[in-house]
A and B are shown apart, each in its own frame.
Chain A
Amino acid sequence: MTTAEAPGKMVGKAIKRREDPRLITGQGNYLDDIKLPGMLYAAIVRSPYGHARIKNINVAAAQAHPGVVAVITGAEIAKEQNPLPCAWAAGGVQNNVNTPRALAVDVVRYVGEGVALVVAEDRYVAHDALDLVEVDYEPLDVVVDAEAATKAGTVQLHENAPNNVVMHWTCGAEQPTAQAIEQAEVVVKQRILNQRLIPTPMETRGYISRYDSATGEYTIWMSSQAPHVHRLLLTAFVLGIPENKMRCIAPDIGGGFGAKIFVYPEMASTLYAAKVVGHPVKWVETRRESCAVTTHGRDHITDLEIAGTKDGKITGLRVHTYANLGAYCSTIAPGVATTLYGRMVAGVYKIPHVFVEVDGVYTNTSMVDAYRGAGRPEAAYVIERAVDMFAQKLGMDPAEVRRRNFIQPDEFPYDTGIGMLPYDSGNYEPALDKALAMAGYKNFAQEQADARKEGRLLGLGICTYVEVCGVAPSKWIGLAGQGWGAGLWESANVKVHLTGKVVVTTGSMPHGQGHETSFAQLVSDELGVPYEDVIVEYGDTQGTPFGYGTYGSRSAAVGGTAIFKSVSKIKDKARKLAAHMLEAAEEDIIFENGKASVRGAPDSAKTIQDIALQAHVAYDLPAGMEPYLDETTYYDPPNCTFPFGTHVCLVEIDADTGKVTPLRYIAVDDVGKVINPLIVDGQLHGGIAQGMAQALYEAAVYDDNGQLLTGSLMDYAIPRADMVPHYELDRTETPSPVNPMGVKGAGEAGTIAAAATVSNAVVNALQHLGIQHLDMPYTSEKVWRAIHERNGGNGHVS
């Protein structure tokens, strides 16, 4: 966007992202681009065992290797540091129990857990020296399956977690739900798996830690979605030092998908190392490490029962889930598996009785935590598969069953009765209608029947989802039983400089969402300044107000509102100053399109630039007014926002090979008011690709010994451009009443809907063979087997 735009019309405009020229021409500044004088490099010795006692670590040979500066073990760090904290202690979890340490002490509990840290003059030497660290392991029994882990007699990961249970959590009413299911005309039961995923950001994690011995201050550059939170957790919990003794800086981030929200062992170990060696220490994760030790996502085993009447009214839903949380309790893992999942399983439907039980479980696998969508894709998968199976059992049109159970537009705010905040606003049917029209749904049944006659298997899947975004109200999430360990507001500072140029500093932390563009659009309109005159700064705890970070599609709704409110405060002050400058009464000043004018005398006006200049030079301010236009807001919204929509996918299955080809993908989303349609579309594109990839390709696989078999991109299939169809996107717009801009959130919608959509399409293509459900991912062999086993073994479908 280079041409000057008239102020006042930027919101809603599909302009290109201003961060892209920098990022796509190699001029970004990612963590590994940063080189500090005297910087050393770290590499980590990692456990090759899923579970083992560390009998001895001999670092002598590594220490003696030329170029090696230090070799640090877990026992050494444990004398100085506490374990990492769990920040979302839902379900009675304690914030410091069974959380990871910087490096393992005595026992390793998953393949890849750090055992020793080598610091060397360059990264090749550091990696060479890894082999020289001799670790004597005594292998222990291993459990990787969450259900198996809870059974008596299974190996115990932590002494204080009997049966490896992290927490047992419920929501909804147990007895009434049981009764509703018992008395129902129709009940469908199914076990469904939501497989484990590896987030795979293009930029792996990395940290540079520096310690200044003169001041006792740490600086850490980090590939992070939440630098302020990291500073808080690392200082207050891990190091036990005042928060003002650490500065966290997040440079450009090459994707995070949630995985960069968390406090990681390598942050703590490099901070320790930097202090010990007296030099900055850089650690950058290899792709293999990224696969093995950056938190994974999903991994649920769910048993569901959906009950209803013969005419398609849902009367009850009961869900039990084993949520595999891996070997330790990661930063927000308990909250993802409970509040963000269990409280969303009712979806867009009025279901009188819902009961959800979640068992969070420790296993000898990498930690599981939030991954794009975080709990909501799992919830959407449960309810949207359940509704399809229910419709299938009834022999009813799945679109019709959805319609019959939708929450109606006049019923908002709507409380689903399972402890979620009331859904803010919604109008589900128009999105469904639009998507079905785009898909040509009317004719699909005929097309499908005709195709079957030719031996072609077509399937169409629908998903009508709702999600919770703009995750906030501190009072709700922190106090009322959700277990979050802090607040969850956002902040923004807006300054109008003497020249009239605007600097926005936000506590949010973009890592691909385009904050620099969207927030500038917002400010341009609200303040009436040219878009080009607004810059957005973020990412450094020194110089940005505290913010909880970017995740949960909350930056626009919460962070954006903080900006909106700061601009309002600026306008208030500008109005006062303009009244003084124009010698008018403040009540008579109208601020519009960047101009303060006297009501009824439009020629008597001052531009925001004039006002900013006066505010800055301060030659003639009204009595008691401070110089400068500079306002900060800490915004804690009254509710979350609840975007929704309908996605439709059309697939074709090659019966001979089982290969599933997605032919069309239609998404009609309602994310409330849209600031930049291009960015929203981009978020949907990426999100849909990730959701489709879960349905079709991705799965993290451990063997029974806790070995990660999908440890590289040779075996772990992430989607490529030619693996997904062209997307057909459209929108409906139901503004959120929660915030003044009416925005809801768009960062995760695609992922939340897509896995369920594609899943429903695949099962739809196969349901005439008597298939009620198949678990993701729909690898060609799995689908071929499903077909093959139902066709007398000849592999052909007639």
Chain B
Amino acid sequence: MFPNDFEYVAPATINEAVALLQANPDAKVLAGGHSLLPAMKLHLSTPSMLVDIGKIPELKGIHVNGGVSIGAYTTYRELETSQEVVQRLPILADCASKVGDPQVRNCGTIGGSVAHADPAADMPAVVLALNATMKAIGPQGERSIAVDDFFVEMLQSALAPDELLTEINIPPMPARMGSAYEKFKHPASGYAIVGVAVMVHLATDGKVSDCRIAVTGAGPKAQRAHAVEDALKGGSEVDAAAQKAGDGLEYLSDMSASEEYRAQLTRVLTRRALHKAMEQAR
């Protein structure tokens, strides 16, 4: 488990980091290192340089500004224990607490997780359900990326190689909103074989006025289960709507779970998550 040779730099500012990335096409951002370093040790990834963003203060912290804005370099542990997050976005704290083990949660960051866009990672589903906006800074300056456009392909986010993800902005959550994340763990890796994040908003009459349902683990990237969303918004009962959770999604299979089984898990977890979220919203 020995990585290839690489250079290590730890810039103090975002601009320096971006300049380093721009100048070194084979460089990679190093955040918590809990996806990147294992990949390097297995020789799956062989960057020539690591740009450690852990020394850049602007990338850290959780701010409440109507919504919640989370610095890319915020660890799972910070999300799990932040009172702001626990109160306003319990799904995020809950999801963070289900990632890996304490060591992973102490190092791994939300920015690293979404930038890595691992098909089995937990956070992508949650930020997708919460309709986050991603802020990135590159050589051309700053831009915002809607989360629906962020997860492009397996292991590919919308970030350019010389762009830094700086912030994840979660919009304000209205009243009568409920959310939940249900995860079915891989017994070895602890990643999600399937994870389903749901966010529902009820109108005053108790009907679903808005909802977003996002599935991770099932396919090559975090995906929205539009069929379920449409059914719920069209007045369907939870159990009936959840049965549609498998529809229209892209699936992958591997040794641990076939497509068919992933579809089944998606339906079951969607149903369970929806019941919890509805309960919360009422």
Contact = CB atoms under 8 A, between A and B. Distances in A.
| A–B direct touch in complex (beta carbons closer than 8 A) | yes
Interface of A: 123-124, 127-128, 286-288, 656-657, 659, 696-697, 701, 709-710, 712-718, 723, 779-781, 784-785, 788, 795
B18 interface: no
Nearest to B189: A714
Contacts of B4: 128
B238 interface: no
B261 interface: yes
B268 A287 contact: no
Contacts of A656: 264, 268
B256 A657 contact: no
Contacts of B86: none
A784 B261 contact: yes
Nearest to A43: B2
Interface in B229-261: 255-258, 261
Sorting the interface of chain B by its residue count into under 10, 10 to 19, 20 to 34 or 35 or more gives: 10 to 19
A657 B188 contact: no
Interface in B164-220: 184, 186-189
User: Of A124, A714, A795, which is in contact with the most chain B CB atoms at under 10 Å from its CB?
Assistant: A714
Interface in B1-40: 1-2, 4-5
B265 A717 contact: no
B154 interface: no
21 contacts: A124-B2, A127-B2, A128-B2, A288-B1, A656-B268, A657-B184, A657-B268, A696-B187, A697-B188, A701-B255, A710-B188, A710-B255, A713-B188, A713-B189, A714-B189, A715-B188, A717-B186, A779-B187, A779-B256, A781-B258, A784-B261
B155 interface: no
Given A127-B2, A287-B1, A784 B264 contact: yes
A781 B1 contact: no
Contacts of B160: none
Contacts of A779: 187, 256
Contacts of A795: 264
A714 B256 contact: no
Q: Which of B5, B188, B258: most chain A Cβ within 10 A? A: B188
A767 B189 CA distance: 31
- Closest 10 A/B residue pairs (Cβ): A717-B188, A717-B187, A127-B2, A781-B261, A656-B268, A714-B189, A286-B1, A697-B187, A715-B188, A781-B257
B42 interface: yes
Contacts of B265: 657
B246 to A, nearest CB: 11
A581 to B, nearest CB: 62
B231 to A, nearest CB: 19
Interface in B42-67: 42
A506 to B, nearest CB: 35
Given A717-B187, A723-B187, A128 B268 contact: no
A712 B186 CA distance: 14
B261 A288 contact: no
A716 B4 CA distance: 25
A709 B256 CA distance: 11
A788 B264 CA distance: 10
Contacts of A718: 188
Nearest to A723: B187
Contacts of A780: 184, 261
Nearest to B261: A781
A516 B1 CA distance: 34
A715 B42 contact: no
A657 B264 contact: yes
A697 to B, nearest CB: 5
Given A781-B257, A784-B261, A795-B264, A123 B2 contact: yes
A530 B184 CA distance: 54
A253 B261 CA distance: 41
A530 to B, nearest CB: 41
B221 to A, nearest CB: 19
